[in-house]
Structure 1
C-alpha cells in the first residue's frame, strides 16, 4: 500500500526539477518507446489475426471444412455420401460439386480457369459468392450454357456480362490425328468478387447440369463439400465417413488442403510478436536508465528523507511508483495509437502507396484485396500486462539502490 506522502513525492519526481531536464527527456523518450511498442504489437497482431480469420472464412466459404472426392474425378454414389455425411453429429451441410482446371479464352486472350459446378440452390446458399456479385445476376446461371466469372479473371480477359467466353478442355475427343482439345462457348451471366485474388482470377462458376455436360459425367459429380459446426474438430467429426469411403474415394479436410499456408501464418505471427516485443524491452531499459539517473540526482533528497524517518521500503515504493507510472502512461498512449492505426489502416496503406509510388498491398501477393483486422481482447490484455510487468521489473534495481543510500555518508559534509 502506497502512502499519501509517498504518492506526493513520486508525483514530484515525475516533474523536472532544476538541472533535471535531461532526465525528464530520457523518461519522455522511454514513455514514447513503450507507447510505440504497444501500438505496434496491437496493430500487427490484430492485422495478423484478421488476415488469418478473413482468409479462413473466405476459403472455407468456398471449399468447406472437408471434401469427399471420388477416384478419377468421379463420385457416382454422391447422394449416399451426402446423406451419410449429414447424418453425422456435428455436420452442418454436404454439397455436391464438380471442379476442374481448364483454360478460358476471349478474343486473343487466354487465362487459366478453375471451373466449378454447383446446384442453383447451393449457389444461392453460398454467401461468399451470392453476396458479392459485381455485375449481372446469378439467376442467369439457370439458363443453358451460362456462367459466372471472377472479377480478376473478367478483367484479365476483358469480358463483360453478355459476352461469350470459351472454355478449353485438354481432355477432348480422340481422332486419328490425336486428341483434339474440346472448346465450348458460354455466355457470361454474372461477375463476382469473393475477395481472394487467387480465386477471383481463376473462378468460373456454372450450374450443375451444365458442368456435368461439359465434363461428360452423366449423373456423377466430382466431390461432396462438407461443412461442420467446429472446424478444429473436423477430423474427429468425419472419422466415420472416412472409413466408409475406403476404396471408393478419399476424405481431405481444410488442414490438409491449406496446411502450408496456415502453418506459415502461425509461424509468422509468433515471430512478429517476439520481434516487436523487443521494442518494449528497449523502452524498459530506457526507463531503467532514467530511474538510475534520477536516483543519482536525488541522493541528497533521499538522505534527508531517511533522516526524517522514511524507511527503505517506503523509498523503494516511491521510485517503483515513478517507473511504473511511466510504463502505464506509455501503455495508455500505445493503446490509443494502436487502435487509431487500426481504424485508419486502409487509408494509411493507400497514403503510403501514393507517397512512395509503390503498391504496398498487392492482392496478387497478399491473397486478400483489402487489409483486414481482428482484435483479440485476450491478446491486448496480454500485451498490456507484458509492458506493465517489464516496466515494473525495470524499477526494482534503481529503487533498491535508492533504498540502500546511507544518509550519514551523503550528509557528512553538508
Structure 2
C-alpha cells in the first residue's frame, strides 16, 4: 500500500469539526468488535479450564481403562493382570469390586456405592490414597475399616473410629428367604477427591473385606489400569480383549464419560457461535460507517479520481480504513479478554456450588491457539465487511461526484 493511500485512509478516520456522527459510529463499531472478541476469549478460557479441570479430576479418581467380565463376577483376575503386563502402554493394574449398598449409622441410612480396592495397588492407578484428609489409608489393609467421602461423613455425622454397617443388594438364600448380606466396620479414613459424586456417595474398603461381604471368595468385578498414553486407551483395550477373548471386555475413560465430554464440547461450540454473532453485528456497523463515509467523502473521492487515482487506489483506501478499525477493536478485545481471564484465574471471586459443577470456583485456562483463532477470525470478518463499501467508493464516477 502506497504512502498516499495510507495518508488518506488515516486522514478520513480523524473526526472533523461538526462531523461527530461518523466518529461516534466508528467508535461504536470498534467497541462492538472489542466486546465480542473479549467476551469470546474470556468465555472460551473458562470453558477450556472447566473441561481440563474436569478431565484431570475424572482421570485422577477413575482408571484409564477397566477390563470387566460379561459373567458379572471375574473369578480369575490374575489372568487379566498377566495379560495386561504383556500389552504395551499399560503402566499399572489393580483389581476392584464395585456394588450398590446401604450405609447404616446412628443418624440414619443412605444408599452408597461400595468399592473394594487393593490398598497396596490402588495408589498406582488412581489418586484415592492421596486424597485422604483424615485418618490413614493403611487402616484398610488391617481389615474391618472403611474410608468415606468428606461430604458423606459430614452428612452422616461420621468421625474416625465411628461404627458403621454396610448392607449389600446381594443376599444369601436361606429357608426364611433372601437375607441381605451385611458387615460391621469402623471409619478408618475420610477422603476428599474434589468430585462431589465420589465424596458424597463412595465408601472404600479392602478388596478382601468386600469379598467377604459379598461372599465372592477370590472373585472381583474387574481390573482397572493406568496407561502411559490416555488417548490410546481404546486401542490398548482392543488389543487386551483380543488377547483375553470371551467373556472379557474393556471400557476406556472416554467411553465411560462420553456424554459428559460431548455435552461440554457442544456447549463450547455453541458459545463460540453465539459470541461470534456479536463480532458479526459489529462488522455490520463497520459497513454502515464506511458507507456513510463514502457518501460524505463523495466530492473528495471525485477530486482524487480526477487527479489520477485509480479505482484500485480508492478501494484500498477504504479497505485500509476498515482494517484499522478491525485491528484496533481486535487488539482492545484481546487485551480485555486476557485481562478478565487472568483476573478470574488469580482471584477466584466467582463461587460455584460443587454439587452441580464439580468445582468451587471458575477454572480458567488460556490457550494461545484459541486466542489467535479468535483474533484472526475477527480480523477476517471485519476485512470482509469492508469489501462492499470500499468497492462502492472505487466505482464512483468522478464527474457525478464533483
Q: Do they superpose with TM above 0.5?
A: yes
Matches within 5 A, 1:398-409: 398-409=389-400
Cα distance 1:57–1:308, how it changes in 2: closer, same or farther (>3 A)?
Answer: same
User: What is the aligned residue count?
Assistant: 402
Matched, 1:373 2:364: yes
Decide whether the 8 Å contact of 2:150 with 2:191 is kept in 1.
Answer: yes
What's 1:218 paired with? 217
What's 1:390 paired with? 381
What's 1:112 paired with? 111
What's 1:255 paired with? 254
Decide whether the 8 Å contact of 2:92 with 2:125 is kept in 1.
Answer: no
Question: Deviations along 1:240-277, whole A, 9 cap, x unmatched?
Answer: 32134443333222233222222222222222222221
Q: Which moved more, 1:387-396 or 1:8-17?
A: 8-17
Note the C-alpha offset of 1:111.
Answer: 2.1
Decide whether the 8 Å contact of 2:99 with 2:168 is kept in 1.
Answer: no
Instruction: Provide the rounded CA distance (Å) in 2 between the counterparts of 1:305 and 1:343.
Output: 48
Instruction: Provide the rounded CA distance (Å) in 1 between the counterparts of 2:192 and 2:47.
Output: 22
Runs of 4+ aligned structure 1 residues displaced above 6 Å come to 346-349
Cα distance 1:166–1:344, how it changes in 2: closer, same or farther (>3 A)?
Answer: farther
What's 1:356 paired with? none
Note the C-alpha offset of 1:390.
Answer: 0.5
Cα distance 1:185–1:342, how it changes in 2: closer, same or farther (>3 A)?
Answer: farther
The 3-state SS of whatever aligns with 2:121 is helix
Decide whether the 8 Å contact of 1:212 with 1:221 is kept in 2.
Answer: yes
What's 1:163 paired with? 162
Decide whether the 8 Å contact of 2:182 with 2:213 is kept in 1.
Answer: no
Matched, 1:274 2:303: no
What's 1:96 paired with? 95
What's 1:313 paired with? 312
Instruction: Provide the rounded CA distance (Å) in 1 between the counterparts of 2:65 and 2:364.
Output: 26
Structure 1: gaps (5+ residues)? 354-360
What TM-score results when the alignment is normalised by the length of structure 2?
A: 0.91
The 3-state SS of whatever aligns with 2:96 is strand
Matched, 1:132 2:131: yes
Structure 2: gaps (5+ residues)? none
The 3-state SS of whatever aligns with 1:201 is helix
Decide whether the 8 Å contact of 2:75 with 2:219 is kept in 1.
Answer: yes
The 3-state SS of whatever aligns with 1:187 is strand
CA-based RMSD: 2.4
What's 1:364 paired with? 355
What's 1:54 paired with? 53
Cα distance 1:15–1:111, how it changes in 2: closer, same or farther (>3 A)?
Answer: farther
Instruction: Provide the rounded CA distance (Å) in 1 between the counterparts of 2:197 and 2:82.
Output: 32
Note the C-alpha offset of 1:400.
Answer: 1.3
Instruction: Provide the rounded CA distance (Å) in 2 between the counterparts of 1:101 and 1:46.
Output: 38
Note the C-alpha offset of 1:71.
Answer: 4.2
Decide whether the 8 Å contact of 1:196 with 1:369 is kept in 2.
Answer: no
What TM-score results when the alignment is normalised by the length of structure 1?
A: 0.89
